[in-house]
Chains A and B, each alone.
Chain A
Amino acid sequence: MAAQTVKRSALRKSHRGSEESKVTRVVLTVVALLFAGLFLLLPLVNVFYQAFSGGVRWYFESIRDPDTLSAIKLTLTIAAISVPLNLVFGLAASWAIAKFEFRGKSLLLTLIDLPFAVSPVVAGLIFVVLFGRSGYFGEWLDSHDIKIIFAVPGMVLATTFVTFPFVARELIPVMQATGSEQEQAALTLGASGWKTFWHVTLPSVKWGLIYGVILCNARAMGEFGAVSVVSGHITGMTDTLPLRVEKLHNGGSMGAASSAFAVASLLALLALITLGIKTILEWKTARAHEQAQRATVDDTQLPFTSSDAPK
């Protein structure tokens, strides 16, 4: 804490030895901003520009198209199943990993990250191997008239696979940081396990939880490769929004091209909302952190640091 205070004041004050000359700073900043502008801002602005290139009316007509509406519905349905599943897993895994010591813990941590290392197309492929017509359960599913591949269940499975680590990854460090003293206190005072979880654990990790959920949701709604493999691409039936974008893009006509961008703009909007919430959450946790730090500084070192404690 003291080191942080010193560092922050050092940043504010003169730091001749640790700073580049003004020319260097300007040049580096301009080059970095050009890179960011070219690769981050321009593609984003272009989505909205192209979406409205056919006029506002055409934009809304593209979105009101029945096939696009059914794609919106399917995208929301898949996310509504995949995200809660991974949320429950994230809560269970982070509780086990953060609150207990057990053998194989680091193995479990590594395995949770596994889906991130798998290419989306391969993620789709593994479910084709299991449930496809010539897959392990293909014949059995066929004889019972259950469709998984080229149907919605397969798309849900593939989406759940690729979004598997998100909530757990965000929650584990947050839960590890909060420790388990508060839960132990609640249990000592006679609260049940569930009650402790609901009233003590959940509130203390809520920002990390929301953060994980919105990232998981963004990926679930935007997933392309894995879903594309198992979708079957039946227009109006198994097209999600990203698949709809591809189909319109391949449609070829000028109208279809701007329709593709209109649909894409919905997904870009989702990305912007996700980033907005993420930024607010980061700002909130940073402020809570700062407040907590100030409190401990005030409590423990009051006589020594009252003059140079952060305002």
Chain B
Amino acid sequence: MSKQKFNPLPGFRLTVGFSVLYLSLLVLIPLGALALRASSLTWAEFWKYTTTPRAIAAYKLTFGASFVAASINALFGTLLAWVLVRYWFPCKRLVDALVDIPFALPTAVAGLTLSSLFAPNGWLGKFLVPLGIHGAYSKFGVVIALTFVSLPFVVRTLQPVIEGLELEIEEAAATLGASRFRTFTRIVFPTLFPTIVTGFAMAFARAIGEYGSVIFISTNKIGDGEIAPSVIFSYLENYQYGAAMAVAVVLLVASFLLLAVINLLERWASHYQT
């Protein structure tokens, strides 16, 4: 700290000034403008817009499908992270690189290809549709798209933590007579749990804002298959700015609350890491 007081490096004012200016112009002022504009709605209007049956059905689908998608990723993402860190198998590095596909692949492409895979004549739909499983143009499709876009979060948050686990502790447990299953449930899992929850929350946060991939795979029917961002989009297209802003505020508040929760979770998880 004392070193910082006599910091001889130049450019502090320039860089902080520019950063704050750019952040304000691009992010803070526009977000503030939305908040200001939305606050010109009366409470009655705000309540009316945000609690229409259409909006409520959209929240249910957005939060419900995101929750299911994040849960799928918590389970399989943990498994994938474990397998990638602890085991050896052919093409392991390739699989590891593939985990980032959902980050790199544009969401429109993801939605397009997923809906074609699960369509009745698609590679997966061919087998699933006769069984009555409709992956394309259904609510299940929304879950599939959200699972895809939020897949990397659990794996990527968990990998470094699994790498950092002390093998000695597991060996000690084995030496003391614990079965591998018992060691896992009593020692490994409790250590990983806070990180899994953090990854789950990140995946959930990513999923509730998602738009591009979902509109390709959902029916997008009003009240059934519409997610909250689609509702905002559709209000905007019809120049219903008040309604669009009201639903957007609900979505923004949910996202910011989640951001705060994720920050707390990260702090909690860091206590468990050595």
Other-chain residue from A31, A110, A125, A224 in contact with B212 (beta carbon distance below 8 A) = A224
In contact, B16 and A96 (Cβ under 8 angstroms): yes
Contacts of B256 in A (CB 8 A): 117
In the bound assembly, the distance between CA atoms of A111 and B26 in angstroms comes to: 12
Q: Can you report 5 A-B residue pairs in the complex whose CB atoms are below 8 A from each other?
A: A16-B174, A46-B122, A126-B30, A130-B29, A222-B108
**A residues near B76, Cβ cutoff 8 Å:** 31-32, 35
CA distance A274 to B104 in the complex (A): 7
Q: Which one, B15, B174, B211, B245, contacts A120 given CB within 8 A? A: B211
Q: Given the interface contacts A43-B148, A117-B205, A118-B252, does A33 sit within 8 Å of B18 by beta carbon?
A: no
Is the C-beta of A72 less than 8 angstroms from some C-beta in chain B? no
CB B155 to nearest CB in A, in angstroms, measures 9
Other-chain contact of B167, A10, A85, A193 (Cβ < 8 Å): A10
- A177-209 at interface with B (beta carbon < 8 Å): 180, 183-184, 187-188, 193, 197
- With A43-B114, A46-B117, A271-B104 as known contacts, state yes or no: A122 contacts B15, CB within 8 Å: no
| Count of chain A residues with a beta carbon within 8 Å of a chain B beta carbon | 102
Select which of B22, B79, B114 is within 8 A of A89 by beta carbon: B22
* Complex Cα–Cα for A242 and B110 (A): 11
CB distance from A105 to the nearest CB of B (A): 9
Residues of B within 8 A of A33 (CB): 83, 89, 95
**B180 partner residues in chain A, CB cutoff 8 A:** 19-21, 24
Stretch among B6-14, B47-55, B191-199 lining the A interface: B6-14
B28 touches A111 (CB 8 A): yes
A50 to chain B, nearest CB (A): 6
A113-139: contact bitstring with B at CB < 8 Å (1 yes, 0 no)? 111011111101111111010101000
Is A36's CB under 8 angstroms from B98's CB?
yes
Instruction: Flag if A29 contacts B16 (CB, 8 Å).
Output: no
Known pairs A31-B79, A118-B252, A224-B106 / 5 extra A-B pairs, C-beta < 8 Å: A47-B112, A119-B229, A180-B9, A215-B103, A215-B104
Q: Which residue of the partner chain B has the closest CB to A192?
A: B10
Residues from chain A with a CB closer than 8 A to the CB of B212 are 120, 224-225, 228, 242
A-B pairs with lowest CB-CB distance, top 4: A222-B106, A17-B174, A119-B209, A224-B212
Contact of B233 among A114, A121, A260 (CB under 8 A): A121
B210 to chain A, nearest CB (A): 8
Return chain B residues, CB-CB under 8 Å to A125. Answer: 34, 232, 236, 244-245, 248
Q: Which of B159-195 contact A (CB under 8 A)?
A: 167-168, 170-175, 180, 183
Q: How far is the CA of A81 from the CA of B28 in the complex (A)?
A: 20
Given A29-B89, A33-B89, A120-B229 in contact, is the A110-B114 Cβ separation under 8 Å?
no
Residues 118-151 of chain B, each 1 if its beta carbon lies under 8 Å from chain A, else 0:
0000111000000000000000000000011001
Residues of B within 8 A of A272 (CB): 104
The segment out of A55-63, A261-269, A292-300, A301-309 that lies at the interface is A261-269
Dominant SS among interface residues on chain B: helix
B side interface size, CB within 8 A: 97
Distance in Å from the Cβ of A30 to the closest Cβ of chain B?
9
A122 & B209 in contact (Cβ 8 Å cutoff): yes
Residue A93 interfacial (CB < 8 Å): yes
Q: Are B19 and A222 in contact (CB under 8 A)?
A: no
Distance from A218 Cβ to chain B, minimum over Cβ atoms (Å): 5
- Chain B min CB distance to A11 (Å): 7
- Measured between beta carbons, the chain B residues less than 8 angstroms from A157 are 26
Residue contact A119 to B9, C-beta cutoff 8 Å: no
* Chain A min CB distance to B181 (Å): 9
User: Quick check: B97 and A279 within 8 Å, CB to CB?
Assistant: yes
B30 and A161: CB pair below 8 A?
Answer: yes
The answer to whether B8 and A122 have CB atoms under 8 Å apart is no
Contact with B along A86-100 (1 / 0, CB 8 A): 001101110110011
